Amino acid sequence: MATHSSPISFIPARDIPPLTNKVILVTGGTAGLGKQSILEFAKHDPGHLWLAARNVAKAQETVNEVVKSVPNVRISILELDLGSLASVQRAASQFLESSSRLDVLLNNAGIMAHPEGLTKDGYELQFGTNFLGHSLLIRLLLPIMQRTALQMGPGDVRIVSLTSGSHARAPPAGIVFDSLKTDASSLSAVERYGQSKLANILYAKELAYRIPDIRIASVNPGMVRTGLTDVMGKNNLAYRLILSVLSPIMGVSIEEGVKAQLWACTAKDVRSGEYYSRMEETGKGSPHTRDRKLAEDLWDWTHKELDAFLVSGQS
């Protein structure tokens, strides 16, 4: 796989092209990288920005901040709890009732190294939130994205999912399927987080293989000084100590860290199906990221679960 010998130079103010008429949906846009993405997109004349978040009050604060910076921007809030498939379905329905196109879906929201727990639907908390909720959102919005791609041309429509270098901390099997409908207490919080982030990479690769008319990528922004690592620290004493030392030294600012996902959402040289570490096509994900059989197994498991949910909702 090709690699870049040096990091790509990307300055959002200079390199994000005009987003005229484009509809962009960002999950988790109330803080950190998601909020910064919204703020940057707003500066480039988008047709309509959608901020999807669980906390509507915080979402409104972000909207107010964006509008103060860019008064004429069109921006809407979508209430979305990725830990509830019913909430994801409602959010998708609300979006589809209001929009005739979707050009960019940025799956930014996530939780990190949380204690043991289950989603509202009984899935391991991190896997259900970071991966399965987003997978349902993709599935429900894929038809409108494919219609948009027919109008705009192949590769112009994007799905970008955030992942993490911690995907390499997934269990030895990569994804322990038998654990996904339990609290996975036999795995550490970091292993549970790792398998959810590995799933993001594998699903993006498999989706790109099956849906060639949409450009799909997964992005690891690197160590960024955001509130996500604060949560990780609170739940893991060892990582609290590690992060307290490494974050100020190795972590980058949100303004720097956000460049990778903005690049993946807008740059012409993004390759569909790739896992990017920051903006470099490293090809250095863990061996599991290149396991096509694991990707196919994940695809089959995911759509079996989503089929069951969608059928139950219609009965």
- Distance CA(300)–CA(292), nearest Å, equals 12
Q: Which long-range contacts (CB under 8 A, 24 or more apart) does 248-252 make?
A: 250/223, 251/223, 251/224, 251/225, 252/222, 252/223, 252/224, 252/225
158-162 vs 104-107, strand pairing mode: parallel
- The one-letter amino acid code at 41 reads F
Evaluate the CA torsion angle 285, 286, 288, 291 in order and state its sign.
positive
Contact (CB, 8 A) for 77 and 85:
no
CA torsion, points 79, 232, 165, 203, in degrees to nearest 10? -40
Q: What is the pLDDT of residue 2?
A: 41
138 is a domain residue? yes
39 is a domain residue? yes
158-162 vs 215-220, strand pairing mode: parallel
For residue range 26-48, what is the model confidence (pLDDT) as tens digits? 999 999 999 999 999 999 999 99
206 is a domain residue? yes
In this prediction, residue 7 has a pLDDT band, given cuts at 50, 70 and 90, of: low
What does the angle CA 127 – CA 129 – CA 130 come to, to the nearest 5 degrees?
70
315 is a domain residue? no
Phi, psi of 183 (to 5 degrees): -85, 0
CB atoms within 10 A of CB 103: 22
Share of the chain above pLDDT 90, in %: 80
Find the domain containing 35 and state its range: 12-305
Cite the beta strand spans of 54-134 per DSSP E. 75-79, 104-107
3 is a domain residue? no
Q: Is the pLDDT of residue 96 over 90?
A: yes
6 is a domain residue? no
The CATH number that applies at residue 271 is: 3.40.50.720
Tell which wins on pLDDT, 208 or 155.
208
Q: pTM (2 decimals)?
A: 0.92
Q: Please give the positions annotated as active site.
A: 193, 197
List Cβ neighbours of 308 (8 Å cut-off, separation of 6 or more). Answer: none
For the chain, how many structural domains are there in total? 1
Note the Cα 7 to chain centre separation in Å: 22
For residue range 235-273, what is the model confidence (pLDDT) as tens digits? 555 555 555 555 554 568 899 999 999 999 999 999 999
For residue range 166-224, what is the model confidence (pLDDT) as tens digits? 999 999 999 999 999 999 999 999 999 999 999 999 999 999 999 999 999 999 998 87
- Distance CA(181)–CA(102), nearest Å, equals 32
95 is a domain residue? yes
312 is a domain residue? no
- Distance CA(197)–CA(215), nearest Å, equals 19
pLDDT, the chain, mean: 91
Best CA proximity match to 147, nearest among 214, 207, 48: 214
